[in-house]
Amino acid sequence: MIYQKFKKFVETHRLFSPESRLLAAVSGGQDSVALVHLLMELKKDWPGLDIALAHFNHQLRAGAAADERFVRGLARKLRLKLFVGRGRVREYARRNKLNLEEAGRLKRYEFLERAAEKWGADLVLTAHTMTDQAETVLMRIFRGTGVEGLQAIRLRAGMVMRPLLCLRREEIEEYLRERGLKFRVDESNLDTSILRNKIRLELLPELEKEFDPEVVKHLARLALIAQDENEALAEIAEGLWPVATRGCCGRHKNGGHNTHSPILELDIKALREMPVALARRLVRKFLHLATELESPSFEQTQAVLELGEGQMFSWGKGKVIVNEAGWLKRLAGGKKSAGSGNFSVVWDGGGKIRISERWEFSGRFLDAEKVKKLNYDDANRCYLDAERLEFPLEIRSRRAGDKYRPLGMKGQKRLKEFLRERKISQAEREILPVFLSGGKIVWVPGLPVAEAFKVTDQTRKIFLIEKSDLAS
């Protein structure tokens, strides 16, 4: 029954042919062991299949060496060629500032790609199941995602194929139990402090019991629908790209080296005349090509899409997009000063942002429970209740009629009067940056923070803005 379901899925989706050369990734866990045995059953029907195994030892767990020995024994028993790789994942994660899960995934796929090339494999097969798919969809939803994120685990991704996406984890367990097949157990999969494990062990069983026993199937189907619709949207967006851009494609060859191109521009008027879903995709591609931002967030994309004439968006030092004469373009370092005359910059709060030759600020989030004392200094830093802020923030020049209610006051007062009372010179006032959230002033260097955004005993997360020393 389970084998027939597996075979039908392979045939229906034309995942591979009866003469394919397949490299199966095997960790030694139940899913990958089931994949190997299902492939061996399929080989009886398709004798032309060529199968080899690949195992990557992350060297993270105490049982990693035993996992490797188990997979070696499995390969010998089934008389299959085996490729084994090892990696210093912890060191790689630390060096590249990645979490262990992401570092392990990158090193594992790097090894699989090399092994596949060495053996001449047509495809690499991984043992992701329908339950893995449902877990991933929920994780993406919890973290905030769009259609692209809802694709979750792709059925096909380059030369990687996931033929077990048709089977729930319970079906895998049944298959192994009926055949008396042994596998390795990763004890870390029982740690519910890890989000995926918590979803697997607590949330999904509760959803199946209290809401719908078919929730895993429905979530997995949602991912497949998102994959198909994302491909359609991507194709349409690709066709619109030449219409909405001018300049270089973002990178070009120069003497055999890829070099960054600062001349790519995106037509903001054209974007606003098309469906917003397509406009966002073009902005995401633009940010990736023009600024090397790997995966622009929804907030970054939307902030750039909404830039008014002359407005800038920054997500760190030297990373600035400006709307200039209706075209979005990247500002090369130092080419334009935001601190002379009228200026408006949109800032997502990350990294450092330079407003002029005089002003540079950095932003970071703090856990209120871990902060023992706030070192107040109105001229150089401010502490804000992060949960009351709307990101991205706007940093702009002072405008006539600006008012706000500073810390401790009962009513609003004109900004001009506060600056005069603090004996800040007229020349200084003209270049002072004003920080706003949702159109409301939250802080001006030299003045107290706004009452509405102050840190209180109920504050859980603090956003700290600090002025950098540019004297050097």
pLDDT digits (tens, 9 = 90+) for 301-346: 888 888 888 788 876 656 788 888 889 888 765 444 444 456 778 8
Question: For the residues 357-366, what does the mean pLDDT come to?
Answer: 85
Instruction: Please give the pLDDT value at position 248.
Output: 56
Pairing mode, if any, of strands 381-385 and 393-397? unpaired
3-state secondary structure of 247: coil
What values do phi and psi take at 146, rounded to 5? -115, -160
Residue 345 tokens, joined: 């910059």
Residue 413 tokens, joined: 């007062």
- For CA atoms 287, 146, 160, 58, give the dihedral sign: positive
**Rounded Cα gap, residues 335 and 327, in angstroms:** 16
Helix (H) or strand (E) holding 11: helix 2-12
| Best CA proximity match to 129, nearest among 28, 227, 39, 6 | 6
Poorest-pLDDT segment among 41-45, 167-171, 188-192, 414-418: 188-192
**Rounded Cα gap, residues 205 and 31, in angstroms:** 19
Per-residue pLDDT band at 139 (split at 50, 70, 90): very high
Which domains are delineated in the chain? 2-231 (3.40.50.620), 247-336 (1.20.59), 360-467 (3.50.40.10)
- Could you tell me the CA-to-CA distances from 342 to 41, 331, 355, 358, 378 in Å, in that order? 71, 17, 12, 15, 23
Instruction: Please give the pLDDT value at position 31.
Output: 95
Residue, of 353 and 252, whose pLDDT is higher: 353
**Rounded Cα gap, residues 250 and 261, in angstroms:** 5
**Rounded Cα gap, residues 180 and 158, in angstroms:** 34
| Best CA proximity match to 44, nearest among 78, 76, 13, 92 | 78
Task: Kindly report the number of other CB atoms within 10 A of residue 298's CB atom.
Answer: 13
Per-residue pLDDT for 92 more than 70? Answer: yes
Question: For the residues 360-386, what does the mean pLDDT come to?
Answer: 90
Alpha helices by DSSP H, listed for 13-85, are 30-45, 64-78
Q: Per-residue pLDDT tens for 98-111?
A: 888 888 888 999 99
Helix (H) or strand (E) holding 150: helix 147-150
Q: Per-residue pLDDT tens for 162-218?
A: 999 999 999 999 999 999 999 998 877 788 888 888 999 999 999 999 999 999 999
Helices H, strands E: what count in the chain? Answer: 16, 23
Q: Cα angle at 278 between 275 and 279, to 5 degrees?
A: 85
Per-residue pLDDT band at 5 (split at 50, 70, 90): very high
**Rounded Cα gap, residues 22 and 443, in angstroms:** 60
Instruction: Please give the pLDDT value at position 113.
Output: 93
| Best CA proximity match to 58, nearest among 117, 104, 109, 24 | 104
Q: Is 364 in contact with 468 (CB distance < 8 Å)?
A: no
Instruction: Please give the pLDDT value at position 316.
Output: 62
Residue 122 tokens, joined: 């047509």
- Residue-level length of the chain: 472
**Rounded Cα gap, residues 241 and 300, in angstroms:** 19
**What secondary structure letter does DSSP report for 189?**
G
* 337 contact partners, CB below 8 Å, separation of at least 6: 356, 357
Q: What percent of the chain has pLDDT over 70?
A: 92
Per-residue pLDDT band at 146 (split at 50, 70, 90): confident
Pairing mode, if any, of strands 403-404 and 413-414? antiparallel
Q: Per-residue pLDDT tens for 178-189?
A: 999 999 988 777
Q: What percent of the chain has pLDDT over 90?
A: 51
